[in-house]
Amino acid sequence: MLHKGLSGIALALLLAGCSTTQQLTSAEADQSAAIARALQSYQARSLPSFQNAAIKKITVRKGDSILALLRGAGADVGLFHAMSADDQAHFSRLHPGDQLALAIDRDGRLTLLAQKVENAEWRVAEKGPEGVTVSYQPLSDGHHQQLLTGKAGTDLARGLRQAGVPDAIAEQASQLIETQAGTARHRGGHFQVLITQPTLQDRPVGKPQLIAVQLDTPTQAYGAFRFTPAKGASGYYSHDGTPIVTPWLEYPIADFTRITSKFNPRRRHPVTGRIRPHQGIDFSASPGTPIIAPSDGVVNMASWQGSWGRLVTLAHAGDIETRYAHLSGFATNLAPGTRVAQGEVIGYVGTSGLSTGPHLHYEMHVTGRPVDPLSMNTASRMPLAASDRHAFHDQRATLIATLESGNTSSKTLVASR
Ligand SMILES: [Zn+2]
């Protein structure tokens, strides 16, 4: 799961520190002002790693290496060496023009290293109480909340899309409701959806997220509320605090010819001929067939991995990891840390790596052990602990008040953090 200790504001802090050394264009000055505001709200809950830290920004030039750059900036590189080999490799893959930001404390120790990975997202390595954590975060200085309302009609997902709810969130929201209500019983209902979108200077950055959805029918009210228990990952809970377990899609692929190989712990490998367990399922399919996330998750990996070819791995709630191998390509903008919603395209069928023909190799691991994905219909989720219930009910009451303020028309609420 994503590391929660450092907010986008901390990244704003990095850039704020950077911009003082250069002449600013007016756009940069605007951004600086937004960042300064973000900074003020950040100071109250400042992380120890930033207290008295000097912030440096580096633009990578041809031939630069990460260790030489860090040493050149006067940093003790202990933080780099404390990262996993994978994380070190990510930070080492530098291209001219890449942007890095570092925080160096009074004793010359590197306490934070950030690398811009796409438009508004940074890969951040930070020294915390439990060692070095690496996470991906948008640079944001606020959020917009949007409240959308409408009629469910006969197809809730379609009604949501018609009200302006983004596709991935429409799928997710309708599934959260249908898991409780079934598909037939919500015809004619009226819905309210609350979405949050991280912003920088009032422009959207990163992906929107579903905060709450409610559906009122003449006989019943259904709801799903996002909540983060004190220990554990965020999830959606119904009105009474029951975790909503959305079904896994049976197949993570839009279309396939047949299953050519099942989960089998004792199987002869078709290419090497050796006995090697087949820890997944092979779907034979035309090259380019879309591969879809069977459940909400976060991208762990989307890169070339030897015999796997192009590989995507996703982390899901309940300590579940899924893997998708031999792809011909990745979905646009898919990178470690990207959140994907159930049903969202993550890549395309191919035959890359050690493979005999176009197919998808699909694996599922629960707490590190491979399991048969076809035996997996639901993601297990723990009920709320007694200590979380009070917080959940407070949060739910606030969300319902917000949702119901929108019963007459759609409107946009701008919330400051
Ligand atoms: Zn396979």
Look at residue 282 and tell me if it is in a domain.
Answer: yes
Residue 347 within any structural domain of the chain:
yes
Q: Do 365 and 389 fall into the same domain?
A: no
CA distance 192 to 218: 15
- Residue 159 shares a structural domain with residue 123: no
Highest mean pLDDT among 11-15, 189-193, 322-326: 322-326
Distance 358 CA to ligand 1 centre (A): 11
Stretch 285-290: mean pLDDT: 92
Q: Which residues lie below 8 Å from residue 230, measured CB to CB, with a gap of 6+?
A: 385, 387, 388, 391
Rounded mean pLDDT, 146-152: 90
Do 241 and 389 fall into the same domain?
yes
Q: Which of 90, 122, 138 is the last residue of a domain?
A: 138
Dist. CA 368–CA 349, nearest whole Å: 25
Q: Which residues contact 287 (CB under 8 A, 6 or more apart)?
A: 328, 348, 349, 350, 351, 358
Work out how many domains the chain is built from and give that number: 3
Containing structural domain, residue 63: 8-138
287 pLDDT more than 80: yes
152 occurs within a structural domain: yes
Same domain, 12 and 133: yes
Expressed in angstroms and rounded, the spacing between residue 322 Cα and the centre of ligand 1 is: 13
Residue 312, pLDDT above cutoff 90: yes
393 lies in the same domain as 352:
no
Question: 138 C-alpha to center of ligand 1: Å?
Answer: 35
pLDDT digits (tens, 9 = 90+) for 182-225: 655 556 789 999 998 877 667 777 668 889 999 988 888 899 99
Measured in angstroms, how far is the CA atom of residue 85 from the centroid of ligand 1? 26
356 C-alpha vs ligand 1 centroid, how far in Å?
10
pLDDT band at 266 (very low <50, low <70, confident <90, very high): low
Ligand 1 center to residue 175 CA distance, Å? Answer: 30
- 374 CA distance to ligand 1 centroid (A)? 14
C-alpha atoms less than 13 angstroms from C-alpha of 241 in its C-beta half-sphere: 15
Residues 92-137 pLDDT 10s: 888 888 888 888 888 888 888 888 776 566 777 877 666 777 776 6
Rounded to the nearest angstrom, the distance between the alpha carbon of 293 and the centre of ligand 1 is: 18
Shared domain check, 23 and 86: yes
The verdict on 131 and 14 lying in the same domain is yes
* Cα of 343 from ligand 1 centre, angstroms: 22
Q: How far is the CA of 238 from the centre of ligand 1 (A)?
A: 38
Residue 331: per-residue pLDDT: 93
For residues 302-313, average pLDDT: 93
pLDDT in tens, 37-90: 443 433 333 344 444 567 787 889 999 999 999 999 999 999 999 887 777 888
- The Å distance, Cα 284 to ligand 1 centre, comes to 10
